[in-house]
Structure 1
Amino acid sequence: MNKKSILLVLFIISICISCTTDKNSNTALEGTWIVSYFQTSNDANNTFRDAPDYIHLMDFKGNTVRLKSFNSKNSGGYIDTVVNFSLTSNTIKLGNEVENQLKISTDSIVLSSMIDDKMYQTILRKLPKNSKTINWNPTGKHYKTYYDDTEAYFDFTNDSVMYSFSEATSILNTSFWRVENVDNRTILVQNNDGVFQVTYGVVDSLVNDKVYITDYLFQERSQVFEEVNKAYKKSPSLYGTWKLVYKEKLPLDSLRTTVPFSLDNFEKIRISKDSVYFVGKPFTRRCDWKYYENLETILLEKANKTIKVSKVTKDSLILKMDLSEADFLSREYILTRE
């Protein structure tokens, strides 16, 4: 190999090294990244994924990064601050935080640290650039969407509280919601009492009565929220006292346990304009109720349950519900009017 060929090879190698080094550079980090999940592992075969609970978004600009959480602003877990960061070829230090191993690809960041023989990793996804903020205010509106082919409903009942439920179960989720704008991005934030305390989705576009949202929790998933007409008028045909005559049995493999004071241990249901009473021994429980006329669904806020009205006639009432504390399986109940 002559001298010119050797110089050419060395030049190409230097370019490759430079490109590799640039992967972990300020330029590669520039932009907004949203946390997808957090995971811990003892080894490659034992990995547990969890929802993030501390930092939910990082926005890199120059030598600074905005660290932001979507926890409730009144909670001790809320943070929104800008810090300097330092970067090497394979590590990053965010302000006074512990130094992390850093791996950057085109659309993701992996931050890793080893503590007490456990590997802790945070996985972030890069958000596409947005030219303008989307003005969306869902207050007082009602939407439907689909999760794994199951229809789900979202009722933004006022400017801070939202009800969500699906046809698959009788579970009612009550969340505190808000819309935040971060660097020309509109983000729907929900603070829940359920399994995942904080969930969030990026509003991509708003077209007529449809809202297009991308959810990055665990995996990237696109959703379409379609606005539906509000219809809350209660049907007088439901009013009265109904006696339980049939309850669908649970499957043999059900994990249900008997809870003595369960709402499910009723003998009669008494429905009036303002209240639903579950009458049993030794107690009677009262619940306020809301009715979704177009879905034929009763909402019991304090019980965190929904009831599907399958059929109502002058003398009979058929309901699809689960009122137990330990089961999520909706069953059929048949009642007759007293």
Structure 2
Amino acid sequence: MFSFLTEEVAIDLGTANIIIILNDKIVINEPSIVTVDRSTKKLVALGTEAQMMLGRTHDDLVTIRPLRDGVIADYNAAEKMLTGFLKKITKRSSIFPRSLKMVVCVPSGGTEVEMRAVRDSAQNAQGRDVYMIYEPVAAAIGMGIDVSAPEGNMIVDIGGGTTEIAVIALGGIVTNKSIRVAGDEFTQDITEYMRHQHNIKIGERTAEQIKIHVGAATSELEDPPGEYSVSGPNQITSLPVNVPVVYQEVAHAIEKSINKIEFAILDALEQTPPELYADIVRNGIYLAGGGALLRGLDKRLEKKIGIPFHIAEDPLKAVARGTGIALKHSKKYQAVLFR
């Protein structure tokens, strides 16, 4: 009878990026994208390689983002993506079968059906012992916050598909708010702005680059970035044009989306018990996720809400780091892990 070699895998299954930690080490940090052959349904490329094909495939291939708004939108593509990445990182052996113990982080506002889709995908990708953890809790652990302490801490995790806002105390979520306004919405806002304001048609990747190079949450920055040049076809003439973009334009483009995040934070604070509210005022509010990298966002939120905001060290990896810690010390964090 064969024994199973157990390997521990922590997965931050994000809308924009997937980060996988194997045995306490980040081994995958790539875009959550796959390219599939339309006729055979076989996986052609995944991650960075698939992203390079975005907007460039012919009729025989389709590039898919399996997750939308923080949850699985295409079950088969998600399973192919997970299986493909796990094949990359784990050694297969016909003599000694492997057993994967997994912790996958999920949005705190996900439905039971959405949670089941994540669980089933992980199990079908050879996860034999699958646990889940809510993203804000994982982010808090990744930032070094003691989630079991009898005091309130508020986490705002601005990912690709959702913004997760949670007040955590005594190992549980006391108040939470999940809105489907985050990095993808910012990208869409920028695409629409460029179309209306500059009459230029740009793709998702170009809008993402604008966000990275000159993305800002306010039109007043102490250390502003230089302008970023964008090339594309004019919508009317289809002739090539080159447009310089400045950070003030991006701040204007995403203004409505940032407002929605502000209102969601205020709504979560309104639902917070007074004792925990006092803790949050004292400790400040913690920002994680790719959205935390928007220039001036912390200062803008602090001015609007009147509570200090702290950006996590390496906010893009805070959730993944916390998921890995929860997996490594699963007995300590058993209160925040669930099946």
Q: TM class by shorter-chain length?
A: under 0.3
**Structure holding more strand per residue:** 1
- TM-score (normalised: structure 2): 0.24
Which has more radius of gyration? 1
Which is richer in helix?
2
Relative contact order (C-alpha < 8 Å, sep 6+): which is higher? Answer: 2
